[in-house]
Amino acid sequence: VKSEGPKLVPFFKATCVYFVLWLPTSSPSWFSALIKCLPIFCLWVFLLAHGINFLVSHRSASRILAGLIFSAVGDAFLIWQEQGYFIHGLLMFAITHILYSSAFGMKPLDLKAGLLMGLVSSSCYAFLYSYLSGPFTYLVAVYIALIGFMGWRAVAGVQLCNDLWTWTKLSACIGAMLFMVSDLTIALNKFCFPVPYSRFIIMATYYAAQMLIALSAVESRDEEDFRKRN
């Protein structure tokens, strides 16, 4: 907390600015896009503050940074989603989930967690299916599969039973779950029925998810410091 907390202060301030201004979504503009993306920009700075050499030498951290970059582009597209840019935003976040999955890695495999996430993802799509039409029938299926896979890799990293977990792996797991809640709320609100306080739920869980996933990138640095001390 002492080492990473101060680096996150700009993120918390930018998040407060977004919720205080609460710019209307009915009149999209480049200013509203900037305010929405500002917390993600601050997470870029958070990772860059650990040093370029750290990002270059640790692929997981660099992939999370790349995911945050695509997330910001996706956020900008979604500002104009009513003008036909929803699919563009969907594509950007699909790439984000691929990058995050790659960052979390395939070890340990944990097939039980994979089965659980597969059941959750399938259930969500089964519920949404009757509300979908046209290309969204397939696009949403692919997107749910990607975010479900990302969730599996994040959950698999937390081995509570084996006492092998770290706070950064737990951070990635919680972040992935919050990301899924945020995206499910978007899907329900857009395709199914109005969700009360949907925008607040979507953005609060989204910003928290991105922050926690960004925090998980310092995992390799913690291991490096631990080896130096021992």
pLDDT given at position 225 = 46
AA identity, residue 203: M
CA–centroid distance for 11 within its chain? 15
Contact (Cβ atoms closer than 8 angstroms) between residue 155 and residue 176: yes
Residues 140-190: tens digit of each pLDDT: 999 999 999 999 999 998 876 665 568 888 999 999 999 999 999 999 999
As a whole-number percent, the residues of the chain with pLDDT over 70 amount to: 92
Find, among 20, 153, 31, 140, the residue nearest to 90 by Cα.
Answer: 140
39 upstream amide cis, omega within 30 of 0: no
pLDDT given at position 219 = 64
pLDDT given at position 1 = 62
pLDDT given at position 63 = 97
6: its two tokens: 């101060």
Spans of the chain below 70 pLDDT: 1, 160-165, 219-230
Segment 128-132 long-range contacts (CB within 8 Å, at least 24 positions apart) = 128/187, 128/188, 128/191, 128/192, 131/191, 131/192, 132/191
The count of other CB atoms within 10 Å of the CB of residue 49 is: 13
Show me where the domains of the chain are located. Answer: 4-229
What phi and psi, each to the nearest 5 degrees, are found at residue 212? Answer: -65, -40
pLDDT given at position 41 = 98
Contact (Cβ atoms closer than 8 angstroms) between residue 205 and residue 198: no
